[in-house]
Amino acid sequence: MRKAWKSYFPKVDGIIYLVDAAAPERFEESKTELDGILNQPELASVPICILGNKIDCKNAVGEEELRLVMGCATQNQFGVQKVDIIDNRPIEVFMCSIASQTGYAKGFKWIGDFLKWYYTIYYNIVV
> For the chain, which residues make up each domain, given as ranges?
13-115
**E strand residue ranges, the chain:** 15-20, 48-53, 73-76, 79-82, 85-86, 89-95
**Nearest one of 56, 16, 61 to 37, comparing CA atoms:** 16
Superfamily for domain range 13-115 = P-loop containing nucleotide triphosphate hydrolases (3.40.50.300)
pLDDT tens for the chain, 127 residues: list them. Answer: 567 777 777 788 999 999 999 999 999 999 999 999 999 988 888 999 999 999 999 999 999 999 999 999 998 888 888 898 888 899 999 999 999 999 999 999 999 999 988 778 777 766 5
Q: Say if CB 93 and CB 66 are below 8 A apart.
A: yes
Distance CA 8, CA 100 (A): 30
Q: Say if CB 2 and CB 8 are below 8 A apart.
A: no
